[in-house]
């Protein structure tokens, strides 16, 4: 009995310590005006603790980020901007992770990129009147994960030039951006890409070579486009590694489940989108056969992140 009490005591102390550590390294700032040449005001936070802050969350804030705003946070590496209005970023900002959801912020162009030279993760979802120059992607030399949804792209046809020198990119989500075409070699530079989300766009065709060079791809999402003439054999290059596939039922309805499983033997799940399963007897039979081979038909939480968060272009 004493041993059990001792174990629970140690567990409680460890949990408490982790909680306190997180509180000490992450802070949320709400309803605050970020003024030029003024330090970010953290009400109730001791001056000494600022040196330990690693993640700042700006919620319903407004103003500017300049050389003074975040000067006293030497360990800061992550910034989350949630439903805020950031009018400008006028200083080099050496963070690794930037998340902005439902906010106003400067357009993604070379000027903004120069302020964020060390980014590894860039997550931009549902930002207001937000314009993206896709040729700036290749300037982010350390980027590992890129998620952009609900944005206005200056060009709507994905090409290889967008991702030049981005061989380190592992996750790419371009869901819900009104993109309408992809060149056959668009992804050839992305040698270690594990996740690709192209859902909720306006693609009508896919070249049979478009995924051929993606030899590490584990999750691919292409549902909710306008693709009518789709040959499932386009995915033959993915047979050794693809585990999750998001695809519209209309693109599979003429294919029998056995042939599908034979083509993608590593598959673990299939999703037809965020809607309910198709009310179609054939789809039900298809999924039943998949389940017999340990492949699930699911409503995924992997693709279309803007829809999951409740944003719609």
Closest CA to 116 of 165, 76, 82, 174: 76
pTM of the shown model: 0.89
Instruction: Name 136's Cβ contacts closer than 8 Å, sequence gap at least 6.
Output: 108, 109, 110, 112, 113
Position 21 scores a pLDDT of 40
Domains 28-155 and 194-313 share a fold: yes
User: 194-313 in CATH: which number?
Assistant: 3.80.10
Residue 70 and residue 92 in contact, taking contact as beta carbons nearer than 8 Å: no
pLDDT-based confidence at 281, cuts 50/70/90? confident
- Average confidence (pLDDT) over 209-238: 93
The CATH superfamily assigned to 28-155 is Ribonuclease Inhibitor (3.80.10.10)
Residue 29 and residue 57 in contact, taking contact as beta carbons nearer than 8 Å: yes
Give the percent of the chain with pLDDT over 70: 88
> CA–CA distance from 179 to each of 183, 244, 246, 251 (Å)?
12, 22, 17, 19
Domain boundaries, the chain: 28-155, 194-313
> CA–CA distance from 143 to each of 37, 97, 109, 197, 259 (Å)?
30, 9, 15, 16, 37
- Taking the C-alpha atoms of residue 308 and residue 300, their distance in angstroms, rounded to an integer, is 10
Place of tokens 């599979």: 252
- Taking the C-alpha atoms of residue 36 and residue 174, their distance in angstroms, rounded to an integer, is 34
Looking at residue 108, the DSSP 8-state letter turns out to be B
- Average confidence (pLDDT) over 280-286: 88
Position 47 scores a pLDDT of 54
Q: What is the pLDDT of residues 39-90, one digit of tens each?
A: 988 765 555 478 899 999 999 999 999 999 988 899 999 999 999 999 999 9
Q: Which helix (H) or strand (E) holds 281?
A: helix 281-292
- Average pLDDT of the residues of the chain: 88
Instruction: Pick the range with the lowest mean pLDDT from 4-18, 54-68, 150-164, 179-193.
Output: 4-18
Sign of CA dihedral 249, 254, 257, 261: negative
pLDDT-based confidence at 18, cuts 50/70/90? very low
Closest CA to 210 of 191, 227, 234: 234
- Average confidence (pLDDT) over 235-259: 93
């Amino acid at each position: 009995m004493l041993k059990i009490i001792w174990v629970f005591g140690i567990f409680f102390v460890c949990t408490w310590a982790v909680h306190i550590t997180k509180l000490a390294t992450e802070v949320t700032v709400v309803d605050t005006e970020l003024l030029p040449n003024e330090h970010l005001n953290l009400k109730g936070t001791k001056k000494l603790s600022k040196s330990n802050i690693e993640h700042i969350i700006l919620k319903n804030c407004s103003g500017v980020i300049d050389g003074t705003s975040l000067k006293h946070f030497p360990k800061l590496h992550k910034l989350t901007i949630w439903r805020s209005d950031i009018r400008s970023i006028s200083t080099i900002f050496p963070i690794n992770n930037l998340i902005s959801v439902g906010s106003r912020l400067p357009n993604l162009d070379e000027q903004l990129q120069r302020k964020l030279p060390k980014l590894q993760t860039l997550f931009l979802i549902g930002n207001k009147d937000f314009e993206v120059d896709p040729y700036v992607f290749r300037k982010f030399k350390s980027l590992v994960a890129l998620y952009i949804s609900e944005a206005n792209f200056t060009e709507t046809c994905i090409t290889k030039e967008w991702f030049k020198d981005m061989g380190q990119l592992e996750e790419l989500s371009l869901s819900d951006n009104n993109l309408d075409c992809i060149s056959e070699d668009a992804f050839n530079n992305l040698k270690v890409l594990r996740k690709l989300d192209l859902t909720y766009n306006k693609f009508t065709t896919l070249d049979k070579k478009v995924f051929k060079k993606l030899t590490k791809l584990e999750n691919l999402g292409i549902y909710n486009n306008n693709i009518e003439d789709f040959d499932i054999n386009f995915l033959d290059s993915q047979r050794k590694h693809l585990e999750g596939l998001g695809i519209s039922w209309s693109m599979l309805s003429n294919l029998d489940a056995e042939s599908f499983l034979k083509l993608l033997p590593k598959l673990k799940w299939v999703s037809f989108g965020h809607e309910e399963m198709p009310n179609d007897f054939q789809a039900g039979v298809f999924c039943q056969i998949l389940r017999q081979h340990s492949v699930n038909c699911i409503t995924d939480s992997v693709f279309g992140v803007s829809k999951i968060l409740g944003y719609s272009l």
